[in-house]
Amino acid sequence: MQVSVRRLALYPLGAVRSGQIRCSLLSPVPRLLSPRARTLFSETGVWEKDYRTETRRRVEEWWHPRIMAQWQKDAVEQGSNRKKFYVLSMFPYPSGRLHMGHVRVYTISDTIGHFQRMRGHQVLNPMGWDAFGLPAENAAIERGLDPEDWTKHNIQSMREQLDSLGLCFNWDREVTTCLPDYYRWTQYLFIKLFEAGLAYQKEAVVNWDPVDQTVLADEQVDENGRSWRSGALVEQKLLTQWFIKTTDYAKPLLDALADLPEWYGVKAMQANWIGDCTGCYFDFKLKVNGEETGETLSAYSSSPEMVFGAAYLAILPSHRLLHGSSSVRSVLEKAYQPGRDSLTEVTAHNLFTGHEVPLGIPDCSEEDLSVSKALNLRWTTVLKGGEDETQTLINSDEFSGLTREEAFHSITQKAREQKVGGHLTSSKLRDWLISRQRYWGTPIPVVHCGSCGPVAVPEEELPVTLPKLPSLTGKGASPLEAAHDWVSCKCPRCKGPARRETDTMDTFVDSAWYYFRYTDPRNPNRPFERDLVDHWLPVDVYIGGKEHAVMHLYYARFLCHFCKDQGLVTHREPFWKLLVQGLIKGQTFKLADSGQYLKREEIDFTGKEPVAYGGGPIEVTWEKMSKSKHNGLDPQEVVQQYGVDTVRLYILYAAPPEQDILWNVKM
């Protein structure tokens, strides 16, 4: 068949991926403007044999709005009778500029979304903004701006950049974590945790970032003791902080990993972070000279079935009781003397057994029995039978006569029922510290009353919105302390004078539930409707970087488990498949002797080996793209040079999604 080149259309990859091509490229083209039909693109009607960059740009500009319109139309037309597919890429922090890592992750999610829609699925591919946090606050301080204005400007800029890449997101479901209509429900979920006894406040020795002037969770400090964000050496401070008791869910979170498909090594990372859940905590009430102080200690036991034989409760030298000016500290410091019949004047009342045991500070790492003997402590024998025979419990109240295995399960279960511990966890896992002494974050919805103690803000008074501050300094106490009219309030319970909590939440709390909100983003009455969440969850494919393999995934999984127990959702695990995309690495050049990174224009490439102008050998490596390493690329410049579809196609074929791409500048 002869085909007139005057009637042959030009098609970008976007038209193919959107399902708009329905016929062979060599068939006659009707002159229709319907996005589902082949359409002539040529002002002159003459085929351009040389498919130049300018032609490609005009073709993409012509198709882009048609592809987006068709995606939006299909999203509206998709019926609930079609099989759902939820593809989710981790939402970005609105820094104002996209980098090549963004281009890769969102190209992958966009391609999967189009593919599943062409298979007839009802597809959800949403986008939003992880918009609270230190970078915006620090930028606002440096520029004398309001962090809200800075953040909104950056969101607008990045939204335009994402659109220019031809990405088809469900923008009608966009969420922004710094807006009150979102963080109202972050506060709602915090209150649910508070009411369940899983959000609590205690004095603790914490990691303090001296540069960013805020507390960091243990997970945010690297192996060298430096802050994950500022790089500063972390200091230790004694502060009253808010925690979420994720340790109560350690065993369910560990066990649930077995039912998930392989996550490219991330499951092993999650399991290693949680640890072997072979023991549990028991709650103790602290006593000094026989009088309760009102303080509760949670002590870990690797053999909870032997709790009735406990000899003493040990605290580490780093424990909060040994810092500050408490009376407990002074007693403990002078109490230990070799040869004393009693370890200290400080004791702990076991809320499970009712027994009272001495409190001590072991200065060695001997086994428990050796320590007890050395300190002349008394204890109760609770095991009968040797290693070669079945061991049973004695002197253990109602649990006497049970085997160790039977007692393990019975004792931990009863401790959970009595809410004095018993949740299986590991000895290394710690609760999630969420307090941040900064302004630009979700306010913790609690007021402190002299009569009632900490009281949750009633649901009908949410959200507790951030006050406007005239300036931010980033130094000293929480900036919210300066908002006196905002801090002073009435207690919701007794109506007496009270003070608002001035710490804000770690941004990981915001991102621990955003995948829920995408299913029902405009709901003014609830964080989400259960039937909508149950329809879309679990996320079929979750795409993001391996740097979030521990913290974010652990917190998101925890919150989903909690919501399941609260009857808010049906699914316990939020994500089915996890696709961890590799990095895009750029070629770096640095001086071999000093390690200083050089720009390409500072290097002589004329010889067999590159050398620095002025002499000096060069070390050539491939590293994650970064401005400081002079190996980054501006996505908009790359797109301008090669076109959207060429860049997207290269990203998809250059390496499997989970592997790194070595970006060849000679592409």
CA distances from 10 to 45, 164, 248, 414, 622 (A): 12, 19, 59, 71, 37
Q: What is the pLDDT of residues 268-277, one digit of tens each?
A: 999 999 999 9
Element (H, E) at 271: helix 266-274
CA–CA separation, 427 and 303 (whole Å)? 11
Section 399-412 average pLDDT: 95
Residue 664 pLDDT > 80: no
Lowest mean pLDDT among 8-17, 279-288, 536-545: 8-17
pLDDT of residue 2: 35
pLDDT band at 303, cuts 50/70/90? very high
CA 592 and chain centroid, separation? 37
Q: Is 232 a residue whose pLDDT tops 80?
A: yes
190-214: per-residue pLDDT in tens? 999 999 999 999 888 888 888 888 8
HSE toward the beta carbon, residue 17, CA cutoff 13 A: 22
In the block, tokens 């073709």 appear at: 59
Does 142 have pLDDT greater than 90? no
Instruction: Give Cα 227 to chain centroid, integer Å.
Output: 16
Report the mean per-residue pLDDT for the chain: 85
Residue with tokens 């709390």: 509
The full length of the chain comes to 667
Tokens 């797109």 belong to 639
Q: What is d(CA 229, CA 507) in angstroms, rounded to the nearest whole number?
A: 13
What is the average pLDDT across 55-76? 81
- Rounded to two decimals, what is the model's pTM? 0.87
* Chain CA centroid to CA 222, Å: 16
Output the pLDDT for position 46: 67
pLDDT higher than 50, residue 1: no
Q: Can you give the pLDDT at residue 504?
A: 96
pLDDT tens per residue across span 327-379:
566 665 555 554 454 455 788 899 999 999 887 644 334 566 676 677 677 77
Which pLDDT score, from 0 to 100, does residue 333 have?
A: 56
The pLDDT value recorded for residue 322 is: 65
Residue range 417-436, pLDDT digits in tens: 999 999 999 999 999 999 99
Q: Write down the pLDDT at residue 241.
A: 92
What pLDDT shows up at residue 15? 53
Measured CA distances, 564 to 261, 267, 273, 421, 582 (Å): 21, 21, 22, 21, 32
At residue 455, does pLDDT exceed 60? yes
pLDDT at 41: 52
Mean pLDDT of 316-321: 69
Determine the residue type at 537. Answer: L
Give the pairing of strands 453-456 and 446-449. antiparallel
Cβ atoms of residues 144 and 106 within 8 Å: no
